[in-house]
């Protein structure tokens, strides 16, 4: 049978589509498809993009990926893909794919920070890294070596990076771009439940009666989940209700029964309004039996600032008479000054009155950390008093053209949906609630409402944080590649956690650094302050994805430091760097991801990497060969005066010598070598393994020799060692080989069975055991161990320092509405919101190189209301300037597009490096989670 390319595509696609929906395929069409696919090898994998965690089927032939389709057996997506998912193969074959290391050099080939990029060997690349890491350690100690990590690391890559950074370099200055996307959700989980990650799962969608999307354009950001929401809505349109909460209209609006357009930051006020409606006007809706058995009430400081630079830091010194300070101009300092002192506004005053503040008062901000204490229900009720319908509607209404009475009706309808007895409700959110200067607060407020109504951790009901990145859960959170974390919810500051990790890693007690405060924005600031001298960008685009980007790029290019980027393509971070390393992309290596519903998924290496590219795991292991016990495990004094002990003598007692390398200790130890390469056994049979066995490319590695691989199954070793930390502690993972037989499993996996609803004794074996032990007859046990003993007090502070146990209980928090540090004024009169679009992923490094996706959306547009354009003298399709106190960019005006803001706001996505919107954004963060607020700053618009 002879087929043209067009016939082949049509027959293969038609057969796949028919199979996905369970339709019988005509014999002739099936025969054509089979002929077209002759010689193809199909295998399962996970999608490279968002945190939904779709399963895909991938076909390879002659060493290249030739087709991708949705996996009909995958429970997440059931054979469907979004538009990006269908192009998982093409992201790997862009014309400017990086294929060899590039170093900035002078005319003589010597490293020169002002030089031009030239190809170098892997050996030369690691030579330079070794020199500059040792220089950084000498100048600044472990705090001088940093890594911009990623929620797109595979589980094994993240674990390998963490071992070398924290166990080898003794540096906690490793923090993922996941800090930007879900850190507020994490701290919200910790403070509320004592353990990270959602209680529910995607099955809630088919079981619920109500979907409320809070600051999440699910239709574009989680399109497969939105297809399931749509299916649920259409299956019972009268009963099922969809509510869209947003600061502007978008594609999620199209399905909504109710749409509430609100002013940025006022989600805090609206959650408290719903809680007030329950407590004051519908007290019979409160499930007091559930609350008394499972919940306490808590409060925390309100004067904690906005996560910006504080007075006295090196780069904001000296302060000048014109208002500028250090490296920051006077305009920038207008906003930064709010970090120290904030004047309470008229809108904030009612919400802050229970704390003793009134309009015009100066609130002196102090670092508050995660401090909180238990309060009574009566104190919580007093806290809720200001959040009347009139007050909340006044501060929250986001569309200046909407009638206030209509807006009030919507708020009341929203509250009624939550309160209605017997109605199941799921609250979904993503960046709108997470990228927020009070992101931790608003996350905790969501659980308040669900807890009071006993609509949490039940099939079809619960507050559910959706994750943005493919393994922000599985790697950043569960592996613990944050600066303050260790695997399985352990913390670097906890001596018991450090000891447990040191014992498992077989390193001396006292090796691990207890100070974990170099979050991703602090790493940028530490580079600008001259503390961090070496920084390595892994699986992210740190210089495009960080707010106030001009400062960080200038610091990287002009100061005495050495910046390295490992990537598949030359994005902005690569261009900013001194050394660029070519990384193997997702299907060119073995890997695993963990999605937003706690589902861990594995895949095998499908093809060889292009050129001389190698995986990030290999890069970390290769680098570790350059550093010995003597190099890294001596004494250090940290900036805060804390001393790290010299553990070299203890290392010798453990059988190491001063010349034993970190590679031998952390990666190629005896346990690791027990994981054998067996090319005749599942799952290795028939698949390449460049990290472990080398490959036919004969890449010349870091030692100047052909890469033969490590000689053992390092992926299985790294996964099993990591999984050890969680087994028996509520984070149980299945064995490595099991994941290659299934389409993922939701942890905790106990006795081979996944868990759908955590904390619910009917579904979660850990909760069942806790309930049985307590004997209190509860249906739930919130068994997370963190912050489960609290002092007592009221809204104003702690009154009794004696701590009371809260074992198996969760918390309802009193947390008020507050404005962000920068709001529109006479000069900067418009809100700016940033985010993504359906067709592109993050900074566009991959998707902008897919011709079909590029043609669909070739540039980032400035979406605005037609009246806004008219008022500013702008026209559809023209270029305009978008300018803040920090910088400006040109963007094309769009008044008729998919995103439809009110007159008070514009939306500009951040995927386009030519419309570098993060130069405009403010680097304010939630002071508790350290997550950047990209959703609101003040800008002005004018014709370009």
Q: Is residue 181 annotated as part of the catalytic site, yes or no?
A: yes
Beta-carbon count within 10 A of 149 CB: 33
Considering only CA atoms, give the Rg of the chain: 27
Contact 537, 148 (CB under 8 A): yes
Q: Are 56 and 70 in contact (CB under 8 A)?
A: yes
Write down the catalytic residue from 44, 69, 84, 410: 84
Q: Is residue 641 among the annotated active site residues?
A: no
- Catalytic residue selected from 92, 304, 431, 540: 431
Nearest to 710 by CA among 151, 156, 162, 98: 156
Strands 861-863 vs 362-364: parallel, antiparallel or unpaired: unpaired
How many degrees, rounded to 5, is the angle at CA 498 between CA 496 and CA 504?
A: 105
SS3 706: strand
As a whole number of angstroms, the longest Cα–Cα distance in the chain is 84
For residue 129, indicate whether it is catalytic. Answer: no
In this structure, what token pair is assigned to residue 458?
A: 């039940």
Whether the Cβ atoms of residue 817 and residue 886 lie closer than 8 Å to each other: no
- DSSP-derived secondary structure for 509-544: TT-S-S-----HHHHHHHHHTT---EEEEESS-TTT
Q: How far apart are CA 568 and CA 579, in angstroms?
A: 13
Please state the separation of Cα 506 from the chain's center in Å. Answer: 30
Structure tokens at 630: 């003597």
Catalytic site residue from 47, 58, 82, 182: 182
Edge-to-edge strands, sheet with 174-176: 116-119, 102-105, 579-582, 562-567, 534-538, 145-149, 174-176
3-state SS string over 386-428? CCCHHHHHHHHECCCCCCHHHHHHHHHHHHHHHHCCCCCEEEE
* Residue 84 designated active-site: yes
Per DSSP, which regions of 262-401 are E strands?
A: 295-299, 341-343, 362-364, 373-375
Alpha carbons 52 and 477: distance in angstroms, whole number: 16
Give the three-state DSSP class for 879.
Answer: strand
Indicate which residue of 152, 162, 469, 928 is catalytic: 469
By CB neighbour count within 10 A (0-12 exposed, 13-18 middle, 19+ buried), where does 641 fall?
exposed
Query: HEC profile for 617-671?
Result: HHHHHHHHCCCEHHHHCCCEECCCCCEECCCHHHHHHCCCCCCCEHHHHHHCCHH
- Report the distance separating Cα 703 and Cα 624, nearest Å: 12
From CA 756, how far away is CA 764, in angstroms rounded? 8
Using an 8 Å Cβ cutoff, are 70 and 80 in contact?
A: yes
Active-site residue (options: 54, 82, 181, 614): 181
How many Cα atoms occupy the beta-carbon half-sphere of 101 within 13 Å? 24
**Which residue(s) pair with 891 in the sheet?**
880
Q: Work out whether strand 373-375 and strand 425-429 pair parallel, antiparallel, or are unpaired.
A: unpaired
Per annotation, catalytic residue among 167, 468, 568, 793: 468
Cα separations (Å) of 67 from 36, 37, 59, 656?
11, 9, 5, 49
Whether 469 is catalytic: yes
**Positions marked active-site:** 84, 181-182, 431, 468-469
């Amino acid at each position: 049978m002879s087929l043209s390319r067009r016939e082949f595509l049509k027959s293969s696609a038609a057969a796949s589509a028919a199979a996905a929906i369970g339709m019988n395929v005509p014999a002739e069409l099936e025969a054509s498809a089979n002929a077209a696919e002759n010689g193809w090898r199909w295998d399962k994998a996970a999608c490279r993009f968002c945190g939904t965690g779709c399963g895909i089927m991938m076909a390879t032939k002659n060493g290249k990926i030739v087709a991708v389709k949705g996996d009909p057996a995958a429970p997440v997506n059931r054979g469907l893909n979004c538009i990006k998912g269908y192009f998982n193969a093409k992201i790997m074959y862009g014309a400017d794919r990086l294929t060899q290391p590039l170093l900035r050099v002078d005319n003589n080939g010597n490293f020169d920070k002002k030089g031009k990029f030239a190809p170098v060997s892997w050996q030369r690349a690691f030579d330079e890294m070794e020199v500059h890491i040792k220089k950084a350690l000498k100048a600044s100690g472990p705090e001088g070596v940093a890594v911009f990590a990623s929620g797109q690391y595979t589980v094994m890559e993240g674990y390998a990076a963490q071992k070398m950074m924290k166990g080898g370099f003794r540096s906690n200055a490793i923090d993922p771009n996941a800090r930007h996307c879900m850190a507020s959700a994490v701290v919200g989980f910790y403070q509320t439940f004592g353990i990270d990650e959602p209680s529910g799962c995607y099955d809630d969608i088919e079981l619920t009666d109500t979907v409320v999307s809070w600051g999440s354009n699910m239709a574009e950001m989680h399109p497969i989940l939105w297809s399931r929401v749509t299916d649920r809505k259409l299956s019972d349109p009268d009963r099922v209700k969809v509510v869209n909460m947003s600061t502007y209209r978008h594609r999620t609006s199209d399905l909504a029964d109710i749409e509430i357009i609100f002013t940025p930051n006022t989600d805090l006020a609206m959650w408290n309004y719903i809680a007030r409606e329950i407590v004051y006007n519908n007290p019979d809706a409160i499930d007091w039996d559930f609350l008394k058995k499972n919940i306490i009430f808590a409060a925390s400081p309100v004067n904690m600032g906005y996560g910006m630079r504080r007075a006295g830091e090196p780069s904001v010194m000296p302060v000048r008479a014109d208002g500028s300070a250090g490296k920051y101009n006077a305009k920038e300092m207008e906003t930064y000054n709010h970090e120290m002192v904030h004047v309470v506004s008229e809108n904030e005053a009612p919400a802050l009155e229970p704390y003793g503040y009134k309009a015009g008062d100066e609130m002196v901000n102090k670092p508050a950390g995660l401090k909180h204490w238990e309060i009574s229900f009566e104190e919580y009720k007093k806290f809720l008093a200001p959040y009347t319908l009139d007050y909340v509607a006044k501060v929250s209404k986001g569309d200046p053209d909407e009638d206030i009475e209509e807006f009030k009706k919507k708020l009341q309808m929203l509250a009624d949906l939550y309160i209605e007895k017997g109605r199941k409700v799921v609250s979904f959110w993503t960046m709108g609630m997470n990228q927020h200067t009070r992101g931790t607060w608003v996350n905790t407020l969501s659980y308040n409402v669900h807890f009071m109504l006993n609509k949490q951790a039940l099939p079809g009901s619960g507050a559910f944080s959706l994750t943005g990145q493919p393994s922000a859960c599985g790697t950043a959170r569960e592996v613990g590649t944050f600066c303050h974390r260790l695997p399985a919810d352990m913390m670097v500051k906890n001596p018991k956690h450090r000891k447990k990790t040191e014992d498992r890693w077989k390193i001396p007690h006292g090796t691990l650094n207890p100070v974990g405060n170099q979050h991703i924005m602090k790493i940028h600031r530490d580079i600008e302050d001259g503390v961090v001298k070496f920084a390595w960008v892994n699986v992210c685009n740190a210089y495009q994805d960080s707010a106030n980007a001009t400062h960080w790029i200038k610091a990287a290019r002009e100061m005495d430091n050495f910046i390295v980027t490992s990537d598949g393509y030359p994005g902005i971070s690569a261009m900013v760097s001194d050394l660029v390393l070519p990384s193997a992309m997702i299907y060119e290596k073995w890997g695993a991801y963990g999605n937003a519903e706690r589902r861990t998924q594995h895949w095998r290496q499908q093809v060889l990497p292009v050129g001389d590219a190698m995986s990030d795991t290999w890069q970390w292991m290769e680098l570790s060969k350059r550093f010995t016990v003597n190099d890294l495990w001596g004494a250090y004094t940290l900036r805060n005066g804390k001393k790290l002990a010299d553990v070299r003598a203890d290392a010798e007692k453990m059988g190491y010598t001063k010349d034993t390398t970190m590679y031998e200790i952390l990666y190629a130890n005896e346990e690791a070598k027990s994981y054998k390469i067996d090319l005749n056994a599942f799952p290795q049979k028939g698949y390449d393994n460049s990290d472990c066995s080398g490959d036919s490319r004969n890449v010349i590695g870091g030692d100047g020799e052909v890469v033969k691989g490590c000689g053992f199954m390092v992926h299985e070793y790294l996964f099993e060692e990591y999984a050890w930390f969680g087994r028996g502690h509520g984070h149980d993972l299945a064995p490595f080989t099991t994941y290659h037989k299934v389409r993922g499993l939701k942890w905790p996996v106990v006795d081979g069975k996944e868990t759908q609803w955590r904390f619910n004794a009917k579904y979660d074996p850990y909760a069942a055991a806790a309930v049985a032990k307590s004997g209190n007859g509860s249906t739930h046990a919130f068994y997370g161990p963190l912050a489960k003993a609290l002092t007592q007090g009221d809204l104003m502070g702690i009154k009794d320092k004696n701590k009371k146990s809260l074992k198996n209980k969760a918390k309802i928090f009193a947390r008020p509405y507050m404005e962000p540090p920068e709001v529109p004024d006479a000069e900067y009169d418009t809100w700016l919101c940033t985010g993504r679009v359906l067709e592109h992923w993050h900074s566009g490094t991959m998707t902008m190189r897919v011709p079909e996706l590029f043609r669909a959306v070739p540039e980032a547009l400035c979406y605005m209301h037609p009246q806004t354009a008219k008022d500013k003298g702008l026209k559809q399709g023209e270029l305009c300037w978008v300018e803040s106190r920090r910088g400006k960019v040109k963007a094309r005006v769009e008044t008729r597009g998919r995103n439809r803001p009110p007159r008070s706001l514009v939306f500009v996505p951040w995927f386009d490096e030519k419309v570098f919107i993060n130069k405009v954004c403010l680097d304010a963060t939630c002071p508790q989670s350290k997550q950047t607020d990209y959703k609101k700053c003040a800008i002005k618009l004018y014709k370009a």
